[in-house]
Amino acid sequence: MNRIPEPELMDEAAQARAYAEADFSEPHQAFVERFREHFPAHRPRRVLDLGCGAADITIRFARAYAECELTGIDGAAAMLALAREAVARAGMTQRISLVEARLPESALPRRAFDTIICNSLLHHLADPQTLWNACAEYAAPGAAIWVIDLRRPDSREQAKRLVQEYADAEPEILQRDFFNSLLAAYRPEEIAAQLERAGLARFKVEVVGDRHVIVYGFL
């Protein structure tokens, strides 16, 4: 099945609110725990979260690594408004900075972050090289890069089955977005080719479960 792009930004107020209120605690906590498993000796100090959304992962990462400071960027104003509320509730305003920006964003300091994390941004990008170029631009030498995203199923029918299995109880807007995101996701072999073009071929690409792929390595 060929990729069907979706909008890059989740900037509808209802869409952002539905996403922020959904229970993603299990996959978001797994995002942090898998990072620790894959980078057991790494001690994040300055972290960049690309496409931070409502900042749930950003906050969880800050709690897991108490010595780090984080910058979360997202292009959706509606999502960032909810992120600011969540960061304030968590008492993390001194450690987490939020920036409204779309990649490529030149205002961020270059080669300044020892850790870059990214959850479910790649499939939103019309040009996937935008993400990998950002990793190369903003990461300090030796930085840990950790990306998890959806992977495109073989057919629309398979995508519908995944929505039924994992989002059947969610609001219709989330089911719609999940289906569209599955159709917009990249396949592991496509991601490997993207990394090759970006000069990041040494990064590892691994399939996780029936709908995710992880990409990781040291810059």
Distance in angstroms (rounded) separating the CA atoms of residues 216 and 204: 5
Domain ranges of the chain: 13-218
Give percent above pLDDT 70 in the chain: 92
CB 65 within 8 A of CB 86: no
pTM summary value:
0.93
Q: What integer pLDDT is reported at residue 161 of this predicted model?
A: 97
Contacts of residue 180, defined as CB under 8 A and 6 or more positions apart, other chains included, come to 4, 6
Q: Which CATH class is domain 13-218?
A: alpha beta
pLDDT at 23: 65
Task: Determine the 3-state secondary structure of 90 from DSSP.
Answer: coil
pLDDT at 173: 86
pLDDT in tens, 80-139: 999 999 999 999 999 999 999 988 877 899 999 999 999 999 999 989 999 999 999 999
Which residues in the chain show pLDDT less than 50? none
What is the reported pLDDT for 8?
60
Distances (CA, A) of 212 to 13, 95, 181, 182, 194: 27, 29, 12, 10, 17
Looking at residue 16, its pLDDT comes to: 64
CA dihedral for 134, 28, 176, 213, sign (positive or negative): positive
What residues are paired with 96 via a beta bridge? 70
SS3 113: strand
Angle formed by the axes of helices 13-21 and 172-184, to 10°? Answer: 90
Cα distance between residue 145 and residue 218, in whole Å: 6
Task: Tell the burial category of 126 from Cβ atoms under 10 Å away from its Cβ (0-12, 13-18, 19+).
Answer: exposed
Beta strands in 30-187 (DSSP E): 46-50, 69-74, 96-100, 113-119, 139-150
